[in-house]
Chains A and B, each alone.
Chain A
């Protein structure tokens, strides 16, 4: 009994600490089926998904660091993502919407573009040099 407890405890502590470092995808623990796993089981092939997110995590880590994220922050950021979210990031980190736009620049940009089009097509004539 004692040995079993120690083994389970070790597995638990180890997986929790690995989760913390982001090495292990946070989908499986000790001997119980995780809630997230059960949901995913109903939706897809979990084993495949688990392997993908396991591989995905390393890719995402590299991509995040190459995108300028402080390496000290990456693990905690990855640990807060579910397996499904990791897979999504792994595939689309370049294409997902990244909100950051500054409104003033946007408006100036569009107005300038409009004026330029009107200028070139001769509707208005405010840029004397072009």
Chain B
């Protein structure tokens, strides 16, 4: 290899290192939805927490949580999300910590227009970036707070920069290397611009299962108004009420769900449990039998049904058949 070749090789490597960014990415004005987008959006009221060493996770999460009405500082979040040995915070733990503040961690569609739409709606977006290389990643959290179509730039609260202006292409490279991860922390009753019903409700279910049934109710109720036929929302709302001890509301939701899905064994199971709790043994039996007739052999639902049935049979102080058991509805007893 001649000296010239070595030089050329060095130059090539250097250029590659400096700029993985020169590939062809559409500018902001060429992205879908450009016609409805104002030339400049900047959520200047978004708080800024300058990052201490390696603390971009707590700083970025505090930024979106405060924007969604929570009073919190990065210091308070450090103990909740930071992994000292990894010198950083995991996405999973940012998600989990949002739940501890009764906010819904919702992962956005992995496309830039979805992020821009949220900015337009006034919501800052937490993003993960890889500022290094695919093979040598340097993970970093920042909060997207604005864009400028004319300059083709994005504005971020990032690290120690209160207002970091980044070329769209450069941001896209770092964001794509981080699997286009973008997160909102939503208040009860708040929805993304273009929500994915299933993803939204699964996020609420996660909130419910991590011991926050009260706040899950606050999210399920508006979700049911938005998606009135969602059986998952009915089931989740019923379960959250049950965990709160509100049997009438729980029962009403299971019944509502069964009216749409009469063969849903999980709904029969839970309705039977509520009825058993109320002492309505005949009605509880009927639900158990209806579900056992269709439940898959060996399934955990079947096991649960059998458990309820055996309790109904062996109960020491039987509720007499024919006990007056009114049916619960959302609006009262019927």
Nearest chain-A residue to B203 (Cβ)?
Answer: A82
A80 and B210 form a contact (CB under 8 A): yes
Chain B 73-88 per-residue mask, 1 if CB under 8 angstroms from chain A, else 0: 0000001111111111
Chain B residues near A77 (CB, 8 Å)?
Answer: 80-81, 93, 96-97
B100 nearest CB neighbor, chain A only: A80
Residues of B within 8 A of A96 (CB): 90-92
**B residues less than 8 Å from A106 (CB atoms):** 131-132, 138, 140
Contact partners of B300 in chain A: CB under 8 A: 33, 37, 41, 46-47
Find the residue from A47, A83, A94, A101 having the highest chain B CB count within 10 A.
Answer: A101
Q: Mark A4-18, 1 if CB is under 8 A from B, else 0.
A: 110010001000100
- How far apart are the CA atoms of A8 and B13 in the complex, in Å? 67
> Which residues of chain A are near B262, meaning CB under 8 Å?
none
Q: Is B334 an interface residue (CB 8 A)?
A: no
B85-113 vs A, CB cutoff 8 Å, 1 = contact: the mask equals 11111111101110110000000000000
Q: Is B218 among interface residues, defined by CB-CB distance under 8 A?
A: no
Interface majority SS on A: helix, strand, loop or mixed?
helix
Contacts of A27 in B (CB 8 A): 209
Interface residues of B in 232-255 (CB under 8 A from A): 232, 235-236, 239-240, 242-243
B172 within 8 Å of A by Cβ? no
Chain A neighbourhood of B7, CB < 8 A: 121-123
Tell me if B146 counts as interface (CB < 8 A to partner A). Answer: no
Q: Which of A16-56 contact B (CB under 8 A)?
A: 16, 19-20, 26-27, 29-39, 41, 46-47
Instruction: Assess whether B226 is interfacial by the CB under 8 Å rule.
Output: no
Could you tell me the distance in whole angstroms from the C-beta of B331 to the nearest C-beta in chain A? 23
Instruction: Give the distance in Å from the alpha carbon of A2 to the alpha carbon of B316 in the complex.
Output: 10
Q: How far is the CA of A47 from the CA of B296 in the complex (A)?
A: 14
The answer, yes or no, to whether B56 is at the interface (CB within 8 Å) is: yes
Q: Is B169 part of the binding interface, using a Cβ–Cβ cutoff of 8 Å?
A: no
Inter-chain contact total with CB atoms closer than 8 Å: 210
Is the Cβ of B317 less than 8 Å from the Cβ of A88? no
The 8 Å CB contact of A98, one of B9, B60, B90, B160, is B90
Contacts of A93 in B (CB 8 A): 83, 90
Closest A residue to B177 using CB positions = A97
Choose from A79, A100, A120 the contact partner of B140 (Cβ within 8 Å).
A100
CB contacts under 8 Å to A, within B1-43, are: 3, 6-7, 9-11, 13-14, 17-18
- Whether A98 pairs with B273 at a CB distance below 8 angstroms is no
Q: Is the CB of A117 within 8 A of B14?
A: yes
Least CB distance, B103 to chain A, in whole angstroms: 12
- Contact status B316-A118, CB under 8 Å: no
B259-294 to A contact mask, C-beta < 8 Å, 1/0: 000000010011001101101000000000000000
Counting CB contacts under 8 A, is B189 at the interface?
A: no
**Across the A-B interface, the 10 shortest Cβ-Cβ residue pairs:** A121-B10, A100-B88, A68-B84, A98-B88, A80-B96, A36-B209, A100-B54, A98-B86, A67-B85, A101-B140
Additional 12 contacts, C-beta under 8 A, given A98-B87, A99-B60: A8-B277, A32-B273, A33-B304, A34-B209, A68-B83, A77-B80, A97-B137, A99-B57, A103-B158, A114-B18, A120-B10, A123-B10
21 residue pairs of the A-B complex, CB under 8 angstroms, read A30-B242, A31-B304, A32-B242, A35-B205, A35-B240, A67-B84, A69-B82, A69-B84, A77-B81, A81-B93, A82-B209, A85-B206, A93-B83, A93-B90, A97-B90, A97-B91, A100-B89, A101-B131, A104-B160, A110-B132, A118-B10
Which residues of A does B touch, CB under 8 Å?
A: 1-5, 8, 12, 16, 19-20, 26-27, 29-39, 41, 46-47, 64, 66-70, 73, 76-77, 79-83, 85, 88-89, 93-94, 96-104, 106, 110, 113-114, 117-118, 120-123
